């Protein structure tokens, strides 16, 4: 079963008016494809030509939450991890989905609307990460392995506001409009797979066990984590190469 067949897309509508309790809506993602992008557009008027009140809201792409499971295996247990080249293959993290916004010209997604306004997000599948240990590297009767698992899926949070906020986090966007269209798949060739944001790169690295603050700053810790990841995977060092992005699940 594909990973996206069991993932749900949560939108939380949080109202800060008179202390109202947030409503929760759950949408099945079984028809959504990882690697694809989806959008919604705002219309100027309703079908009868009258103006609607403007909706103002913040969308936030929340990364998954992870936990680390440390397991010990005896020599006999290791038989199930044995590969054809007589080494052992361990899972470091399972494949999972991450939401990310794309800031593109929406006219490139082949809509019929002139100068379309709205928002677009993509579903990124971060591939399973593994490590290989050769028999010659095992010097004790047991071996330990750490497997990073998702305990809470990535989601999009939607929160209505009365006005545009002065500041936004790097994984948030401010949206305003009225008479919104249903979510549609982007069928053109936008940069849905263009150069990912630093946030996306950091999210992918965090899912692999690196301790980083999720923001859009390419700091020394991020550079060190990226170089370490590239060294472990025999990739070009210090560059956001296509091979690195593919390995991170961002292509």
Q: 190: helix, coil or strand?
A: coil
What percentage of the chain reaches a pLDDT higher than 90?
3
| pLDDT score of 44 | 59
For range 135-159, the mean pLDDT: 84
* Calpha distance 199→247 (Å, rounded): 16
Two tokens, residue 125: 């599948």
* Residue 174: closest CA among 184, 182, 166: 166
Residue ranges per domain, the chain?
3-248
| pLDDT score of 190 | 44
**CA distance readout (Å), 78 to 55, 81, 93, 137, 147:** 57, 5, 18, 13, 15
Pairing of β 118-126 and β 96-101: antiparallel
For range 125-153, the mean pLDDT: 83
Q: What is this structure's pTM?
A: 0.62
* Calpha distance 178→55 (Å, rounded): 6
Quick: pLDDT tens for 10-65: 444 444 433 333 333 344 456 667 777 888 888 755 444 444 578 889 998 888 88
For range 183-188, the mean pLDDT: 73
Quick: pLDDT tens for 153-184: 888 888 888 889 999 987 889 988 888 888 88
* Calpha distance 65→207 (Å, rounded): 8
Cβ-Cβ contacts under 8 Å for 83 (sequence gap 6 or more): 89, 132
| pLDDT score of 49 | 47
């Amino acid at each position: 079963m594909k990973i996206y067949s069991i993932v749900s897309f949560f939108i939380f509508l949080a109202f800060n008016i008179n202390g109202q309790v947030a409503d929760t809506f759950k949408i099945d993602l079984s028809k959504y494809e990882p690697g694809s992008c989806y959008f919604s557009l705002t219309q100027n008027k309703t079908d009868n030509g009258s103006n609607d009140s403007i909706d103002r809201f913040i969308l936030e792409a929340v990364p998954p939450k992870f936990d680390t499971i440390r397991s010990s295996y005896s020599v006999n247990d290791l038989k199930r991890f044995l590969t054809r080249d007589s080494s052992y293959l361990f899972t470091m993290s399972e494949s999972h989905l991450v939401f990310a916004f794309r800031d593109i010209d929406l006219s490139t997604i082949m809509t019929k609307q002139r100068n379309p306004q709205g928002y677009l997000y993509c579903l990124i599948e971060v591939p399973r990460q593994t490590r290989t240990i050769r028999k010659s590297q095992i010097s004790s009767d047991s071996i330990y392995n750490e497997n990073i698992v998702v305990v809470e899926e990535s989601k999009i949070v939607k929160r209505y506001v009365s006005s545009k906020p002065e500041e936004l986090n790097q994984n948030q966007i401010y949206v305003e409009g009225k008479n919104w269209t249903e979510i549609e798949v982007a069928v053109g060739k936008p940069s849905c797979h263009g150069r990912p944001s630093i946030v996306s790169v950091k999210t992918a690295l965090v899912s692999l066990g690196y301790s980083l603050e999720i923001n859009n700053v390419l700091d020394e810790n991020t550079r060190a984590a990226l170089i370490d990841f590239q060294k472990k995977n025999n990739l070009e060092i210090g560059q956001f190469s296509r091979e690195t992005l593919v390995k991170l699940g961002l292509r």
